[in-house]
């Protein structure tokens, strides 16, 4: 499940900034007599986070530090660099609402190092695992205030077939779901800096908007709500392969016909 408002990331867990997930309670198993309240939280996607090695950037602006993350040596980079905890409110503009049953998201958040644009959040069912939603023969509803989401901006709530633990593997990726790793979607995004425990440094194009690497990360996607105050869309995006896969070339849809 992802919430994308519309980026440094690594795969080791950092220790410089504590990671504290904002609360987001939900209602489940609703009947005529009421609903159960279930405690959950949200985590920020790793692609938004600071990646560092001994307090120094592994990725700055749109470029990798070639001293630690050289072109094509994704495994060494992933094992050297750490993804840090997030200052959710101060850096990313993410807070729990007053009832702690939803989140407030700012599109632009200015901070001491510059400005952050957008965010992507996942629902957690614990400190180290994403919540898996099983919706067959069930209803899923949400309320969204779009009064400050004008034409030209896009808010989104959608499901993707990510690994429950964020592709944690104990070596290249020790950060895992707690730090928002393991993203994929049906567009097979190439702008992810780390995929399956390796840095996406091979053929990294720093002048592309957004910057992209050689590999993509594919999985099925179900867009429940993509919208602003003027329009909304509901769209399924199936994939030919189950689960989350690392792809390149036409397997990512690049230059593929149809």
Catalytic residues: 221, 226
> Which residues lie below 8 Å from residue 134, measured CB to CB, with a gap of 6+?
none
Q: Cα(180)–Cα(170) distance, rounded to whole angstroms? A: 15
Alpha carbon of residue 185 to chain centroid: 10
How far apart CA 236 and CA 207 sit, in angstroms, is: 31
Rounded-to-integer distance, Cα 30 and Cα 184, Å: 30
**How far, in Å, CA of 126 to CA of 133, rounded?**
14
Is 59 in a helix, a strand, or coil? strand
């Amino acid at each position: 499940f992802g919430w994308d408002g519309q980026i440094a990331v690594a795969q080791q867990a950092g220790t410089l900034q504590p990671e504290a997930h904002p609360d987001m309670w939900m209602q489940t198993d609703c009947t005529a007599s009421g609903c159960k309240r279930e405690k959950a939280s949200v985590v920020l996607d790793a692609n938004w986070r600071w990646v560092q090695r001994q307090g120094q950037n592994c990725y700055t602006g749109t470029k990798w530090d070639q001293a630690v993350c050289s072109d094509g040596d994704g495994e060494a980079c992933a094992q050297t660099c750490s993804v840090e905890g997030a200052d959710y409110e101060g850096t990313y503009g993410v807070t729990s609402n007053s009832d702690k049953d939803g989140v407030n998201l700012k599109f632009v958040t200015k901070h001491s190092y510059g400005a952050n644009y957008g965010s992507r959040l996942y629902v957690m069912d614990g400190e180290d695992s994403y919540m898996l939603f099983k919706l067959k023969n069930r209803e899923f509803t949400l309320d969204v205030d779009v009064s400050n989401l004008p034409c030209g901006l896009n808010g989104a709530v959608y499901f993707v077939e990510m690994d429950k633990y964020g592709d944690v593997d104990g070596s290249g990726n020790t950060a895992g779901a707690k730090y928002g790793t393991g993203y994929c979607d049906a567009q097979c995004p190439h702008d992810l800096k780390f995929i399956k425990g390796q840095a996406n440094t091979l053929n990294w194009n720093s002048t592309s908007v957004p910057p992209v690497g050689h590999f993509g990360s594919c999985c099925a996607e179900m867009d429940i709500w993509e919208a602003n105050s003027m329009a909304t869309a509901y769209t399924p995006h199936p994939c030919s392969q189950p689960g989350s896969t690392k792809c390149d070339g036409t397997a990512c849809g690049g230059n593929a016909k149809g």
